[in-house]
């Protein structure tokens, strides 16, 4: 297995995301998780990712019981995160962090991330000096590397990385379906990481599983390749970009584990034919987009919506919802309406100014009613 090109302690470029572990009657299935962890480590990998919010705290304790208690500390790397609801002021951060170490049965984390940063919660992290506190942990040897995970627009990431050059790694949502998506902005967010020369951790490479069960015509295209699974093409797509340090997969059973390992053990970037096939799959998704909004943004840049409604971002969320029925679209819709006086779809007063400038002649007012009915 190749040594990671950014962090030599990471084996390969594939990580075990522990947010969707196998469950039995609302408890993590320790027998299955232990087998999966053993298979992962025996295949040569060592990067595990958790957060306190995953499975209501069970992800951390399962890692403590099934991994940390059974392997010496040099056999695995562990990433944990500081998540918004678990602190109110700076003084809360250290006791919470020490608890996280105890839950995971380790005495340091290899990576510690400021979790799910966006324009809104970043203000709280600043107010509570969260970045500075985590940097203290690094100086004390309680974490090896400091990073952040991110869920917002590229300009917000640019601002955070400019204000915090000490950040060593950035976790982003990145997959072929979100690559040009106007609400997720995978490509643009990735380019900000490139600009700041930060290695990238990929989350949601299969879009929460949406890129596994493809529409039949898209499935047929990938079946015409060399026999890899749909998930394998999605994961290898994400890993094919030069700044990608680790692609995480939130695996829930052994079948997913063995499939992912076979794609990533001797990783090869997508070749030209495979990349071409993935682009064709993207074209099919685009053809499914029920709202033919081109994200030209005329409706918000040439017209001042009196309610500050981010129309193309809302349409993008709705399209993703229609194509994938994905939980994450509600999360992104919430981001679209957060901050700077941005209105909800239902705030539209139907003045019609936006429709006058839309080159696609979209019935924006009616479409916003649909957006509101689904997300609000
Ligand atoms: S019709 Fe609605 S969305 Fe369009 S400009 Fe008026 S308030 Fe904004
Ligand atoms: S003007 Fe029309 S096509 Fe352009 S972003 Fe707005 S809704 Fe989409």
The pLDDT profile of the chain, 376 residues, written as one tens digit per residue, is 788 999 999 999 999 999 989 999 989 999 999 999 999 999 999 999 999 989 889 999 999 999 999 999 999 999 999 999 899 999 999 999 999 999 999 999 999 999 999 888 999 999 999 999 999 999 999 999 999 999 888 999 999 999 999 999 999 989 998 888 776 789 999 999 999 999 999 998 988 777 887 877 889 999 999 889 999 999 999 999 999 999 999 999 999 999 999 999 999 999 999 999 999 998 887 777 657 676 767 788 766 789 999 998 898 888 778 776 666 777 778 888 876 678 999 999 999 999 988 767 789 999 999 999 988 8
| CA–CA gap between residue 177 and residue 211 (Å, rounded) | 8
Name residues contacting ligand 1 (CB within 6 A). Answer: 303, 305-307, 309, 311, 348-354, 364-365, 368
Can you give the three-state secondary structure of the chain, one letter per residue? CCECCCCCCCECCEEEECCCCCEECCEECHHHHHHHHHHHHHCCCCEEECCCCHHHHHHHHHHHHHHHCCCCHHHCEEEEEECHHHCCCHHHHHHHHHHHHHHHCCCCEEEEEEEEECHHHHHHHHHCCHHHHHHHHHHCCCEEEEEEEECCCHHHHHHHHHHCCCCCEEEEECCCCCCCCCCCCHHHHHHHHHHCCCCEEEECCCHHHCCCCCCHHHHHHHHCCCCCCHHHHHHHHHHCCCCEEEEEECCCCHHHHHHHHHHHCCCCCCCHHHHHHHHHHHHHHHHHCCCCCCCCCHHHHCCCCCCCCCHHHHHHHHHHHHHHCCCHHHHHHHHHCCCCCCCCHHHCCCCCHHHHHCCCCCCHHHHHHHHHHHHC
What distance in angstroms lies between residue 202's CA and the mean position of ligand 2's atoms?
Answer: 29
- Both 345 and 228 in a single domain? no
| CA–CA gap between residue 212 and residue 281 (Å, rounded) | 12
| CA–CA gap between residue 29 and residue 218 (Å, rounded) | 34
In the prediction, which pLDDT does 29 show? Answer: 98
- Residue entry with tokens 């998540």: 83
Which of 293, 364, 370, 372 for a ligand 1 pocket mutation test, highest count of atoms within 8 Å of Cβ?
A: 364
Which of 298, 352, 358, 371 for a ligand 1 pocket mutation test, highest count of atoms within 8 Å of Cβ?
A: 352
From residue 25, alpha-carbon distances to 22, 66, 91, 128, 332 in Å are: 10, 18, 36, 38, 30
What distance in angstroms lies between residue 23's CA and the mean position of ligand 2's atoms?
Answer: 43
Whether 39 is in a domain gets the answer: yes
In the prediction, which pLDDT does 216 show? Answer: 79
| CA–CA gap between residue 224 and residue 136 (Å, rounded) | 52
- Both 263 and 338 in a single domain? no
Whether 2 is in a domain gets the answer: no
- Both 320 and 227 in a single domain? no
| CA–CA gap between residue 275 and residue 306 (Å, rounded) | 43
| CA–CA gap between residue 295 and residue 183 (Å, rounded) | 10
Which ligand has an atom closest to residue 303 CA? 1
What distance in angstroms lies between residue 305's CA and the mean position of ligand 1's atoms?
Answer: 5
Name residues contacting ligand 2 (CB within 6 A). Answer: 293-299, 311-312, 357-358, 360, 362, 364
Whether 9 is in a domain gets the answer: no
* Ligand 2 nearest-atom number relative to CA 357: 1
Which CATH number fits the domain that encloses residue 105?
A: 3.20.20.100
- Both 338 and 272 in a single domain? no
Q: 280: exposed, middle or buried (C-beta count within 10 Å: 0-12, 13-18, 19+)?
A: middle
- Both 71 and 146 in a single domain? yes
- Both 264 and 347 in a single domain? no
What distance in angstroms lies between residue 293's CA and the mean position of ligand 1's atoms?
Answer: 15
Per-residue tokens: 44: 């040569």
Question: Which residues span the domain enclosing 315?
Answer: 298-375
* Largest CA-CA distance found in the chain, in angstroms, rounded: 65
- Both 195 and 121 in a single domain? yes
- Among candidate residues 287, 316, 343, the one where a domain is terminated: 287
- Both 64 and 200 in a single domain? yes
In the prediction, which pLDDT does 207 show? Answer: 80
Whether 111 is in a domain gets the answer: yes
* Ligand 1 nearest-atom number relative to CA 349: 7
pTM: 0.80
Which ligand has an atom closest to residue 299 CA? 2
What distance in angstroms lies between residue 247's CA and the mean position of ligand 1's atoms?
Answer: 40
Whether 327 is in a domain gets the answer: yes
| CA–CA gap between residue 61 and residue 342 (Å, rounded) | 39
Count up the domains in the chain and report the number: 2
- Both 92 and 195 in a single domain? yes
- Among candidate residues 230, 257, 287, the one where a domain is terminated: 287
- Both 143 and 266 in a single domain? yes
- Both 24 and 106 in a single domain? yes
- Among candidate residues 287, 319, 352, the one where a domain is terminated: 287
What distance in angstroms lies between residue 171's CA and the mean position of ligand 2's atoms?
Answer: 30
- Both 212 and 346 in a single domain? no
Whether 55 is in a domain gets the answer: yes
Whether 34 is in a domain gets the answer: yes
Whether 3 is in a domain gets the answer: no
Which of 306, 312, 314 for a ligand 1 pocket mutation test, highest count of atoms within 8 Å of Cβ?
A: 306
């Amino acid at each position: 297995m190749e040594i990671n090109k950014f962090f030599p302690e990471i084996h390969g470029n594939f990580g075990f995301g522990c947010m969707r572990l196998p469950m039995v009657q609302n408890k993590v299935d320790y027998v299955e998780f232990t087998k999966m962890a053993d298979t992962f480590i025996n295949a040569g990998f060592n990067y595990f990712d958790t957060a306190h919010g995953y499975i209501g705290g069970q992800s951390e304790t399962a890692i403590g019981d099934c991994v940390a208690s059974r392997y010496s500390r040099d056999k695995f790397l562990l990433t944990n995160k500081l998540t918004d609801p678990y602190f109110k002021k700076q003084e809360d951060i250290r006791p919470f962090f020490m608890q996280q170490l105890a839950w995971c049965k380790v005495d340091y984390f290899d990576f510690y991330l400021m979790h799910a940063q966006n324009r809104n919660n970043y203000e709280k992290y600043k107010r509570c000096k969260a970045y500075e506190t985590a940097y203290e942990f690094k100086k004390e040897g309680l974490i090896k590397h400091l990073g952040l995970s991110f869920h917002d627009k590229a300009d917000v990431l640019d601002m955070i990385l400019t204000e915090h050059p000490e950040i060593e790694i950035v976790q982003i949502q990145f997959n072929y379906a979100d690559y040009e998506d106007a609400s997720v902005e995978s490509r643009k967010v990735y380019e900000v990481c490139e600009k700041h020369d930060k290695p990238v951790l990929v989350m949601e490479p299969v879009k929460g599983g949406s890129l596994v069960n493809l529409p039949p015509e898209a499935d047929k295209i990938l079946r015409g390749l060399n026999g890899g699974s749909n998930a394998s093409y999605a994961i290898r797509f994400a890993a094919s970009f030069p700044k990608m340090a680790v692609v995480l997969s939130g695996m829930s059973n052994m079948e997913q584990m063995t499939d992912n390992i076979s794609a990533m053990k001797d990783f090869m970037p997508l070749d030209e034919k495979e990349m071409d096939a993935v682009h064709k799959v993207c074209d099919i998704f685009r053809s499914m987009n029920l709202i033919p909004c081109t994200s030209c943004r005329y409706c918000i840049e040439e017209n001042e919506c009196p309610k500050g409604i981010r129309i193309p971002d809302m349409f993008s969320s709705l399209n993703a919802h229609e194509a994938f029925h994905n939980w994450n679209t509600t999360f992104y819709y919430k981001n679209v309406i957060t901050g700077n006086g941005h209105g909800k779809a239902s705030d539209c007063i139907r003045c019609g100014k936006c429709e006058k400038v839309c080159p696609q002649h979209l019935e924006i007012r009616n479409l916003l009613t649909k957006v509101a009915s689904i997300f609000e």
